[in-house]
Chain A
Amino acid sequence: MSIMAWVLGVAAILLLLIVILQRAGFTQGILRKKIGSPKQSYMEEFADELAGDFLVAPTPYPKTKPQHPEIPWQYGADRLVLMVRDPNWLFAYWEITAAKQDEFSQQYGQSAWGSSRPVLRVYDVTGVEFNGSNANNYIDYAISDYVDNWHLEVSRPNSTLCVDVGRVFPDGRFVTLLRSNIVHTPSMEVSNLVDEEWMWIDGIYRTITRLHPGSSPLMMEDVSQRMGLVPLGISSPEFTRSANNSNLP
């Protein structure tokens, strides 16, 4: 009986320990996300994926790797950079310095920062020489105070766009903190503009327009085939799967 109690006790302690450790790891993960520092857990992912799928014998990776070189996350410069991912998505990253924040507080009051909420305002400025107030329209994306980069689904192919990071007051007033560069999203279709002296040939388009780059499975295959390129001799699990498919008649 007493042995059973012992065993149960030890098990309970172990369980508690595991829970505590996991919690610690979990909150650490959240914190890291909040301050937006680059992920540190790539080694584990790598090991998991390799072991999970195709390696016959586990491959020992050379001893313990030294720490990654330290680089800053913030550079002490106010900036907001907008980048195009595809016709539907943009990516923005920014840095708001303490000086910028002070400037805002001086202008709108000490409590203004706390009483306002952060917003990304994406302007459609297609065909417009943007001066801050002549955008065709805009969309607001609510963000949290703890992020400094965001993937934005805009769904606006072939458009000219710009973004502000700013604060919205409870009364709806918007104040710009930083303005980005201007970007143009790619098109997703054949243009309707036609040159008279270069009249398009319908027969040619009938053979190719059915393949749509935005959704073509061909492109999916392409990317896995490209694994032959860079990690030479190192096969990703993804690639293995598609390579097995390639054995189909």
Chain B
Amino acid sequence: MNKGNLCFVLHAHLPFVRHPEDEHFLEERWFYEAVTESYIPMISAFDELVEEGVPFRLTFSVSPTLLTMLTDGLLQERYLRHLDKLIELAEKEVQRTSNTVLHPVAVMYRDRFHHARYVFAEKYGCNLINALRRLQDLGRLEVITCAATHGFLPLLMTQPGAVRAQVGVAVELYTKHFGRPPVGIWLPECAYTHGIEDILKEFGIKYFFTDTHGVLFASRRPKYGVFAPVFCPNGVAVFGRDLESSRQVWSSNEGYPGDFDYREYYRDIGHDLDYDYISPYIHPDGIRLNTGIKYSRITGKGYDKEPYNVEYARYKAENHAGNFLFNREHQFQYLNSLMDREPIIVAPYDAELFGHWWFEGPYWLQNVLRKAHYDFPGIDTITPGDYLKKYTCNQVVLPCPSTWGNKGYNEVWLCRENDWVYRHLHIAASRMVELASEHAYAGGLKERAVKQAARELLLAQSSDWAFIMHTGTMVDYAIRRTKQHIQNFLRLYEQIKNNSIDESFVGDLEYRNNIFPDINTNHFKGQNPEVYSETG
């Protein structure tokens, strides 16, 4: 019988957008939207499968910035207030649309938001990491980590200490929240370059992922292409992305999310309804925003849109789930005819694609996982950790530097719009290495200042800022964040060097940028044998 292993990887990440100084900070809404539209629906989908007894396996990467925000008391409180406003709006919408064709859709949103509130507040005590930990402990998810602030590691490798800190801080935070060290890592932007694997090994990480060509263009031709992992010369495993399964979900022309029966993303009542009616639910300054309530289906190419129909959309998602598995079955059939072991198909996606952008995505994924179990006995969902236990002997090659960005290399994060950030990031990193070495045993205020300097540097390194500068939207925010963290870092550096630390300045930064409270600045210094005992 044909047999194959399907490895879904969802990468959940948002940059650190916590702004205690302003309850209505625009960028904080990225977080709220992702929680309501992606994380909660996905967790609910998994929980339902658990209740049904479907034994699925899925790999879920949660970035340390997102993990920090999900466990942050202030953001939890604010999110709940945000959700309550949304519920209030949804209730009004149910009234407003009564006796219209939109009514069932309004009811759907109201019910979803009430359910989201139950899942968030009651079931998981306002901390969705509880949900991920539970799903991992139940043997359904393999939760992995990502670099501390989603730094673009290949372009930080001029100071290996900076990359070591990105990885080390992430591993420690993960261990604190999940009670065990992570077995794998999602490299931010799937970006790999030579040498990163050595730092991963220092922290006990067993595997990472690259884009297809990261494995395919390796130093030696990989026997199985991307349908089996390879080992780096140091023994860390690498899994390459499968193109076919990616295309079916991602591609704007062939992908499922563009189906005419699916929900249209760009029609939101936050933009479309009368200002007086909607103003309490958008930004207090009058900026129109997405509320998440959208009544249209994609319908077709034109401007006119038909109302969304829940039944049609669900039917399509179920069909697309079957179609996805049917195609994988064919792929496995072909691979089985060639390979002397079971192939693995690695299908990584941004978690926020599901639900936020592709509204039906979580439902589709749930159906894929359920159908794989009931209708496709030849397809096993699997995690990289499982596969490495099954096949312990793998070819040794050096992967090719690569990313999953446009054109497959570093251009998105190193182009004319954002190349200026590196001259600051690099010098700050070397100064941080200096601080960490010179003040390794500092205590009191100096220790606080050194730790805060490390936080500021890590925050400046987020790949998100360079990415946003490249895309050309919300650029001002990205530039501001980069410059602010660099400035904070440089001030702290000067104060530490001159022995003139301003306690209120340090205190203010600790309050604003409170990420990684237990940060270990020794990671910047160099390979630290203590790390092994700390992380297992």
Listed in ascending order, the chain A residues whose CB lies under 8 Å from chain B are 38, 42-43, 45-46, 49-50, 54, 56-57, 59-63, 65, 68-73, 75, 77, 79, 81, 83-87, 89, 91, 93, 95, 149, 151, 181, 184-195, 198-201, 203-205, 207-209, 211, 213-216, 218-240, 242-249
Contacts and interface: CB of A to CB of B under 8 A. Distances in A.
B302 to A, nearest CB: 8
Given A86-B409, A213-B213, A231 B271 contact: no
B402 A248 contact: no
Pick the most buried of B213, B402, B464: most chain A CB atoms within 10 A of its CB: B213
A71 B401 CA distance: 32
Given A213-B211, A243-B252, A45 B472 contact: yes
Given A84-B154, A198-B223, A213-B212, A204 B335 contact: yes
A84 B401 contact: yes
A190 B287 contact: no
Interface in B286-301: 286-290, 298-301
Interface stretch (B197-205, B311-319, B367-375, B421-429): B421-429
A219 B487 contact: no
A83 B422 contact: yes
Given A38-B479, A198-B222, A215-B407, 13 more contacts: A45-B475, A46-B472, A65-B476, A69-B483, A81-B426, A83-B422, A181-B158, A207-B225, A208-B243, A228-B353, A229-B13, A232-B29, A236-B472
Interface in B251-307: 251-253, 255, 257-258, 260, 265-266, 271-272, 283, 285-290, 298-301
B334 interface: yes
B253 to A, nearest CB: 6
Q: Is the interface of B mostly helix, strand, loop or mixed?
A: loop
B408 interface: yes
Given A81-B158, A195-B220, A186 B480 contact: no
Nearest to B349: A225
Contact of B407 (A49, A193, A211, A219): A219
Contacts of A50: 473
Contacts of B33: 232-233
A242 B286 CA distance: 28
Residue among A86, A89, A185, A204 having the largest count of chain B Cβ atoms under 10 Å: A204
Interface of B: 13-15, 26, 29-30, 33-34, 154-155, 158, 193-194, 211-213, 216-227, 243, 246-247, 250-253, 255, 257-258, 260, 265-266, 271-272, 283, 285-290, 298-301, 334-335, 337-339, 350, 352-353, 356-358, 395, 400-402, 404-412, 414-416, 419-420, 422-424, 426-427, 464, 467-469, 471-476, 479-480, 483-484, 486-487, 490
A238 B356 CA distance: 18
Contact of A219 (B286, B401, B406, B474): B406
B395 A201 contact: no
A56 B273 CA distance: 12
A213 B283 CA distance: 41
A87 B217 CA distance: 12
7 interchain residue pairs of minimum CB distance:
A213-B408, A228-B357, A246-B258, A86-B409, A232-B30, A223-B406, A236-B473
